[in-house]
């Protein structure tokens, strides 16, 4: 099967994987629309994911990535496969796209663990702030349950989670961040979807859903600042 029809993907040389399931733009007529569930894509997440990948390459870091090209109205990769909100179950192609994405992501994760002894999975999403004081960026990892790796195994401090702490440190220099480690009024809806949940209690894997406010994703200067922050965090992670 030619996966490039559905995804942009590649293996990298660093223990990081970037997943972008809701930024796709293709709406082939041969794939029927979903009958229920969200129909709107996370605008510009595909574009921002590519900027992150390119920014890291300039610093000689290539990360594994899988970015969906299929619009969310056709396939929602962050819902359970048995749910009607994931894809129209009459479509074999939609079903194939869904399972292929998750198989590729899992294969990348296992290969990173084999090659590097650990992996950070970032699942990149977008949301709309309901009011001004809401956080700009929200981390989701089921309140720490999809985080396994600590900077110092002797230090059981949530701030020491590998990957999470670097991302929180860099992004919070510019934006208001909810790190998702405790339940707040903001993060319950974004505590970690189906993709991050697949890595629950998997050894040597940290999986974080990152939700970025629409106001950041639609402003190119703010987007550049976000990309810079995430790039710096991942450079620090690999230094």
Question: What does the pLDDT read at residue 155?
Answer: 60
Let me know: does 78 contact 23? Beta carbons within 8 Å: no
Owning domain of residue 143: 3-237
At 1-14, the pLDDT tens digits run 677 889 999 999 99
Question: What does the pLDDT read at residue 151?
Answer: 78
Question: pTM to 2 decimals?
Answer: 0.95
> Using alpha carbons only, what angle is made at residue 220 by residues 218 and 223, rounded to the nearest 5 degrees?
85
Task: Kindly state the tokens that stand for 231.
Answer: 């790039």
Determine the Cα–Cα distance for residues 128 and 144; give it in Å rounded to an integer: 23
* CATH number of the domain that residue 66 is part of: 3.40.630.40
Number of domains the chain is built from: 1
Chain center to CA of 11: 16
Question: What does the pLDDT read at residue 3?
Answer: 76
Q: Is the pLDDT of residue 158 over 80?
A: no
Q: What is the mean pLDDT of the chain?
A: 94
Task: Kindly state the tokens that stand for 86.
Answer: 């994931």
At 212-230, the pLDDT tens digits run 999 999 999 999 999 999 9
């Amino acid at each position: 099967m030619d996966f490039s029809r559905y995804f942009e993907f590649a293996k990298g040389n660093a223990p990081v994987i970037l997943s972008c399931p809701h930024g796709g733009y293709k709406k082939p007529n041969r794939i029927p629309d979903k009958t229920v569930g969200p129909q709107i894509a996370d605008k510009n997440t595909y574009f921002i994911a590519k900027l992150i990948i390119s920014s890291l390459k300039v610093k000689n870091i290539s990360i594994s990535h899988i970015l969906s090209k299929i619009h969310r109205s056709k396939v929602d990769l962050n819902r359970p496969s048995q749910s009607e909100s994931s894809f129209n179950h009459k479509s074999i192609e939609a079903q194939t796209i869904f399972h292929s994405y998750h198989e590729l992501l899992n294969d990348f994760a296992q290969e990173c663990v084999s090659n590097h002894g650990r992996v950070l999975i970032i699942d990149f999403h977008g949301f709309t702030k309901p009011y001004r004081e809401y956080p700009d960026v929200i981390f989701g990892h089921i309140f720490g349950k999809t985080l396994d790796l600590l900077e110092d195994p002797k230090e059981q401090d949530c701030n020491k989670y590998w990957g999470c702490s670097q991302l929180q440190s860099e992004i919070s220099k510019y934006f208001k961040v909810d790190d998702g480690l405790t339940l707040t009024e903001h993060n319950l809806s974004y505590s970690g979807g189906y993709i991050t949940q697949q890595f629950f209690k998997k050894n040597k894997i940290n999986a974080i859903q990152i939700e970025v406010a629409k106001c950041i994703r639609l402003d190119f200067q703010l987007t550049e600042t976000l990309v810079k922050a995430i790039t710096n965090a991942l450079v620090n992670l690999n230094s």
